[in-house]
Structure 1
Amino acid sequence: MNELKERVLIDPTAPNKSTGIINGKSSNILNWDDVRFSWAYPKYKRMLGNFWTPFEINMAKDIKQFPMLSEKEQESFLKIIGLLALLDSVQTDYAGKVADYLTDSSLNALMIILAQQEVVHNHSYSYVLSSIVSKKKQDEVFDFWKNDSILQKRNDFITNGYKGFVEAPTIDNFLKSIVYDVILEGLFFYSGFAFFYNLARNQKMVATSTMINYINRDEQFHVGLFEKIFKEVLHENPSYHTEELLGFGRDTFKQAALLEIEWGREIIGNEIEGLLMKDLEDYIKFMANKRAKQLGFEPPFEGYKNNPLKWIIAYQEVDRGKTDFFEQKSRQYTKTSDANGFDEL
């Protein structure tokens, strides 16, 4: 049966350990020592360990530096924050919708924590903006998605992908919505992230970059969680592992990458010191190939097996734990090497 059944509130006739990731039976009593998937509890502990709030980050230096940025840097900074706020708002709601159909209680719990983390991300954008611009400007930034044509195109791409699942919750639509989720969290943020990390390596807006690093770490973890869910659904429902799905995945990642490149040209162009648009385009194609392969699809772009932004690894994939950014000098000065890798496919 293709239709997804919603979780029931409680089922005394079912076991605590679910019989299926979707359309299964479960009492809905969560006992972490009696769950279906061995990887669920380690992910739960990791998500708790990653907890953070924007209040931990001191914005004093960024407040002084923002007026000193170039006009293009300020414009791009605000546009990217506006985009992130929109996408993470959508993501919060999507995670809640997914939770309604996960009949495994441990995965339902993980999805609820994921949604809470997205709320924190949105809080961080408000926190940054309230520190550096007026309330009027902050309101304008949160409305960018309504008026910028490129933003509207990107946002429609994701929201229409999610709507298919929300309006018709079938197994097929659920699987396709996960493709859009991985695009949102694992590709659509990445030219914006590169912009902030490039500022940081030039000792600009370092506190904001710290917050972005926290968000980036969360989003990478979320991609890994949805990858697990995607593969488990296909494992339990192998009839849905079709050529049509494989073609959809490859083509959708390609379309998403082209939209991200178009957005990169708007916010980066050739006007941001230290970040060449050609390198950013190659990076986006590299990331599209990487994310497609994670879900088991053919890479949409021939080649692009190596990360062209070799410097970004020192900013993007450092596990900072709970160390205060301003005490962790290595993140500002670390150079990539064979030891920390260039993230080859």
Structure 2
Amino acid sequence: MRYPQFYEMYRDAIRNTWTVEEVDFAPDVQDLALKLGPAEKHLVQRLVAFFATGDSIVANNLVLNLYRHINAPEARMYLSRQLFEEALHVQFYLTLLDAYLPDPAERARAFAAVENIPSIRAKAEFCFRWIDSIHALERLETPADRRRFLLNLACFAACIEGLFFFAAFAYVYYLRSRGLLHGLASGTNWVFRDESAHMAFAMAVLKTAREEEPTLCDAAWAADVDRMLDEAVAVEYAFAEDVLSGGMAGLSLKDMREYLDYVADQRRVQLGLKAKTGAKNPFPFMDLQDVQELTNFFERRVSAYQVGVEGEVAFDEAF
């Protein structure tokens, strides 16, 4: 086995399996009816519209580009599992749509967000531009081809999964910090864990490619990644202007911009680049984002369970 780390990532993913049926949206429906004001409802509507299309875009890139060119068997095992998880996320968001938007016309408008909501259309166009940039590549024959592929992978990991979705998670956890939409937050804990693992895998593939062919990620490639992240932050900030247009106590545009710069700097470091802005995380509620071991006071169960028990189990050992 040439890349055992990818096989271990696959095994870890198998052990951490969850189902959408375990998420209870009943409290959320009550919150939407009784507790959310116009500004919060606008935020939720925009989030739902983004979620309706976001993971489908990710799954398309996974199938059309990544699986085609990342051909180590261990890596493809992980990618196959990742595709299952993306399908699970799509199911989660479809179930969310059914719960939040019972009216078919409202659901149709959410699915049409890419065409009808400029801030979401801009994010989709950013994604499609990078996905389509290597769609015609049948094989990565030249260093230039491989460099283009690694740019696509960097965009996928750092910008789409690592920035757009992390910003969406921040809105969800902000609502959670106010005691709202616990079902959405509970399911997002699992999605967050999955997306973090997906990003870690993509970063590991990038690191492996750089080690095997160091000339691919030269100064010009790094400059392209830096510009890509700047553009992603600008696109996501425009979405924040839309989402927060009604005003939101404890969630200002200034803080959201700092959070986006902070996340972008984290992605730069993961990609082997230097942090650019030095921004700090302005949201204390994001300290709760990786709740893999503890049950929150409003959750009914731990979201970090693992499926299956491996090895021998004995209860006669001295502690």
Counterparts of 2:58 and 2:130 in 1: how far apart (Å)?
12
Contact 1:100 1:108 in 2 (8 A): no
1:272 corresponds, among 245, 248, 253, to: 248
List gaps (5 residues or longer) in structure 2. Answer: 139-144, 304-319
1:177 corresponds, among 133, 152, 161, to: 152
1:88 offset after TM fit, Å?
0.7
Q: Report SS of the residue matched to 1:325.
A: coil
Contact 1:270 1:277 in 2 (8 A): no
- Cross-structure match for 2:12: 46
Moved over 6 A (4+): 321-324
1:211-250 to 2 correspondence within 5 Å?
211-250=187-226
Deviations 1:168-192 (A, max 9, x none): 3521221010121021001012332
Deviations 1:133-154 (A, max 9, x none): 2222112111111111221112
Deviations 1:288-314 (A, max 9, x none): 000111011233x3321x322122111
1:263 corresponds, among 202, 219, 239, to: 239
Contact 2:7 2:77 in 1 (8 A): no
- Cross-structure match for 1:116: 84
Q: Report SS of the residue matched to 1:122.
A: helix
Could you say which structure has the greater relative contact order, defined with CA pairs below 8 angstroms and 6 or more residues apart? 2
1:328 offset after TM fit, Å?
5.4
Superposition TM-score, scaled by structure 2 size: 0.86
Contact 2:173 2:285 in 1 (8 A): no
1:281 offset after TM fit, Å?
1.0
Counterparts of 1:121 and 1:202 in 2: how far apart (Å)?
24
Contact 1:96 1:112 in 2 (8 A): no
1:80 and 1:44, CA in 2 relative to 1: closer, same or farther beyond 3 A? same
- Cross-structure match for 1:83: 50
Q: Report SS of the residue matched to 2:27.
A: helix
1:227 offset after TM fit, Å?
0.2
Specify the code of the residue in structure 1 equivalent to 2:290. Answer: E
Contact 1:85 1:122 in 2 (8 A): yes
Contact 1:269 1:277 in 2 (8 A): no
Counterparts of 2:222 and 2:167 in 1: how far apart (Å)?
26
Counterparts of 1:153 and 1:45 in 2: how far apart (Å)?
36
**2:81 maps to 1:99:** no
- Bigger helix share: 2
Deviations 1:26-83 (A, max 9, x none): xxxxxxxxx2113122211221122212111111111111122112211221211211
Superposition TM-score, scaled by structure 1 size: 0.80
Q: What RMSD over aligned residues (CA atoms) do the two structures have, in Å?
A: 2.0
Contact 1:195 1:268 in 2 (8 A): no
1:270 offset after TM fit, Å?
6.1
